[in-house]
Chain A
Amino acid sequence: MAFFNKQVPAPAEELEQEEGEKGPEGLQLLDDPEFVEFLSYGETPIDIQNERDAERYAQQIEDWHATYNRFKETEEGVTGIVAEGLEEYGIELENDDDLKGEVERYLFELVHDDPSKYFDIASKAEEHAQINEEIASEQAEVEALLKKHGISLDKENMSDHPAENEIGKVFAGYDEKSEEKSKRPSMLRWNVLAGIYNKYRQAPGEEKAFQKEMQEAFSKLQSSIERKTEITGARNEMIGIMKDNKDLKEAITVSLKNSLTVRMGNLDLSDIEGIQKIFEAVNTNKDVFGLGISIDDKRRFEEAMRQSVEGGLTNFIESGSWEGRNDLIEKFQNIFSLNKFASFDAKKFTTRFIDDYCDSLRAQMESAQTKKERAELNRKLILLNSIKQETVTKRKIVTSHKASIAGGPVARRRAA
């Protein structure tokens, strides 16, 4: 709401009164309350001391109005794709006024903070709808041709995919209303590695099996990471967990290349050189954050968690007594200690406690009777997972930091 803190109501009127004529055209755009609301998500404008300031300000308003018009043209499509995505959490955006308000706010803030990112998302939302339309059309044509040629599909020739076992269900995976929706082809989930890690976390005797499974999963994921990053421009979506420092370096390299978050478990803390390299990378790439290191020692693990959260991280950092530890933590804190996660006092919670709590939420999910109940439980689960695994708050902060450098038209012009 800072955009028009003081100046908004005044400039146009004052200029009219002083000069006896209408102010610059850009300022007249402020008669539109919706546009004014849109602007209110932006930054504080320059002070208007004289006519030159007013003209500059008016030009900025005109630029933002052009952005606003483009935003209005795309808003529906982007909201639509958000709604589709939310359905997978059991949430009907149409019936959730609070969340609808949050979506609106999110999009307003995004277009102000990073217009190019917003418009990139808008074009991908459009592409999403267009591809789905083309798929529906092609599928209909293929089904008609299969019928025309009397081709039926027998099980011997089919894959195990249940949706593909008979004609007519060939494309069930792409029918949005189908019960088979969950079986449609999908990107590999980002928690695959985390799942494997958790599976073996309590099994120290099975390190080879862990490494093998992890390496296989990681190699499968690599191409997906690159494609996903290329397509979505998403940062910090991948969590790489590697067992030893050799794999760790590879994970770091790939993840940094793709601007992704890296997380590790069971790092060999005696490899100071390797660790230093990692932190140099972190230091020189401020888009990478949420780097956490934990070890299999309960006391140190909890301490790492406490320090991480205190330092603004939701991940963990090692808290041992090895050389360089304090410097390391300080570096982390310099980079990340910008905020704490809401009012959540993680000092009192162990990951095990949160895991147990998540399990109880999942159990409730199974017996949930309504979509609304499931949506609420999903909401809690996603937040708890973020506390455990992601650096949500940091993501926001880094976005803000970047915005102050890159910014929208206003910030860019001001910087120039």
Chain B
Amino acid sequence: MDQDTSKANQELKERLDAFLESPAARKASAKLLIENALIQKMAENVVNREYLQSVREIRTMLQALDQAENEDAREEKIKNIKDKLSKLS
């Protein structure tokens, strides 16, 4: 990089620095941050609802363990529970 280019880049960088510190930029970034924060959190509802459903199903499966007819059936149920737990995400 020649000296002129380097100097020009440095000037640009300083201008960008100044812009990013300016009240207009701070205001714009605040709005963006707020919007992003809201969207991200609201979008989580979908995932969280699905996750909640899975945890409920696991709880139901665990509650049904006592009704296992024999040890083999119980082991099978436990295997299914572990399998479902492993897929929680």
Contacts and interface: CB of A to CB of B under 8 A. Distances in A.
Interface of B: 9, 12-13, 15-16, 19-20, 22, 24-49, 51-52, 55-56, 58-59, 62-63, 65, 78-79, 81-83, 85-89
A393 B89 CA distance: 36
A384 B24 CA distance: 13
Most chain B beta carbons < 10 A, residue from A153, A173, A354, A379: A379
B42 A392 contact: no
Contact of B12 (A174, A353, A378, A396): A353
Interface string A64-93: 000000000000001001111110110100
Contacts of A132: 48
25 contacts: A85-B36, A89-B37, A98-B30, A102-B27, A106-B30, A125-B41, A135-B55, A141-B59, A142-B58, A153-B85, A158-B82, A227-B46, A231-B42, A231-B46, A232-B38, A232-B42, A343-B24, A345-B15, A349-B16, A353-B12, A379-B30, A382-B33, A383-B32, A386-B28, A392-B32
Interface residues of A, number: 73
Interface stretch (A16-24, A144-152, A257-265, A320-328): A144-152
A138 B56 contact: yes
Contact of B25 (A158, A345, A383): A383
Contacts of A348: 12, 15
Contacts of B65: 145, 149
A396 B22 CA distance: 19
Contact of A157 (B19, B35, B83): B83
A185 B36 contact: no
Contact of A228 (B28, B43, B49): B43
Tell me if A's interface is mostly helix, strand, loop or mixed: helix
Q: Closest 3 interchain pairs by CB? A: A85-B37, A145-B62, A102-B30
B16 to A, nearest CB: 6
Contacts of B81: 151
A82 B25 contact: no
B31 A145 contact: no
A264 to B, nearest CB: 22
A379 B19 contact: no
Contacts of B27: 102
Contacts of A174: 51
Given A157-B83, A342-B19, A379 B31 contact: no
A412 interface: no
A206 interface: no
A131 interface: yes
Interface in A112-131: 121, 124-125, 127-128, 131
Contacts of A390: 32
A200 interface: no
A186 B44 contact: yes
Nearest to A139: B55
